[in-house]
Amino acid sequence: MRRVLVLGSSGSGKSTFARQLSQATGLPMVSIDALYWRPGWQPSETAGFTQQMIEAAQQPAWIMDGNYLNHGAGQLRRTLADTIFWFDLPRWVCVAGILSRIIRSHGQVRPEMAEGCPERIDLAFFRYVWTYRAQQRPKLLAFFEGLRPDQTFVRFASRGEANHYLAGRSPAAVTIGA
């Protein structure tokens, strides 16, 4: 495992998993949210963001947390990845994850976010998470159709499955969503 994608809905636990997998393996973590967002929750200019993702993907080793499949480097990341973890959790779990995250860190910048982007209540974001399975999941399924037989694909249907995977890699793994 040298190049790892961690995909799924916001609030599913993918960032926590990516961070813990990075600690267990020593592979550097790349948060695509940190590349995309600018202070004040301003999106990056498309060409610059795509270039940053290409440069990150061309590194010899990484764990990339985040979807952004439609931005120029989505296909490149899929091609270069040797391992893909997919958090395919129910929407209520993801919404609960978002609520919990807001309660824990409202007004603070999370470790995987860009500077100047503190945690906040955003109703449009809640709507995005609530409709993720209907609107974004089909895009991920189409993305996965392009995987090769030599790539490892792991689907987590619960945080417990992700915790079990991490526990097998590192006895000191912290549970996701705890």
pLDDT of residue 94: 95
- How does residue 176 score in pLDDT terms, banded at 50, 70 and 90? very low
Q: How far apart are CA 95 and CA 93, in angstroms?
A: 6
130 φ, ψ (degrees, to nearest 5): -65, -35
As to burial, measured by CB atoms within 10 angstroms (0-12 exposed, 13-18 middle, 19+ buried), residue 9 is buried
pTM across the whole model: 0.89
Residue 172 has pLDDT above 50, yes or no: no
**102-144: per-residue pLDDT in tens?**
899 898 888 888 788 888 988 999 999 999 999 999 999 999 9
Give the three-state DSSP class for 121: coil
Least reliable range by pLDDT among 2-6, 27-31, 112-116 = 112-116
pLDDT of residue 54: 92
pLDDT of residue 95: 94
Structural domains of the chain in order of their starting residue, each with its CATH number: 3-169 (3.40.50.300)
pLDDT of residue 169: 67
State the sign of the Cα–Cα–Cα–Cα dihedral 43, 142, 55, 23. positive
At which residue do the structure tokens 């807001």 appear? 102
**36-87: per-residue pLDDT in tens?**
999 999 999 989 999 999 999 999 999 999 888 877 688 899 999 999 999 9
**140-169: per-residue pLDDT in tens?**
999 999 999 999 999 999 999 999 999 886
pLDDT of residue 171: 41
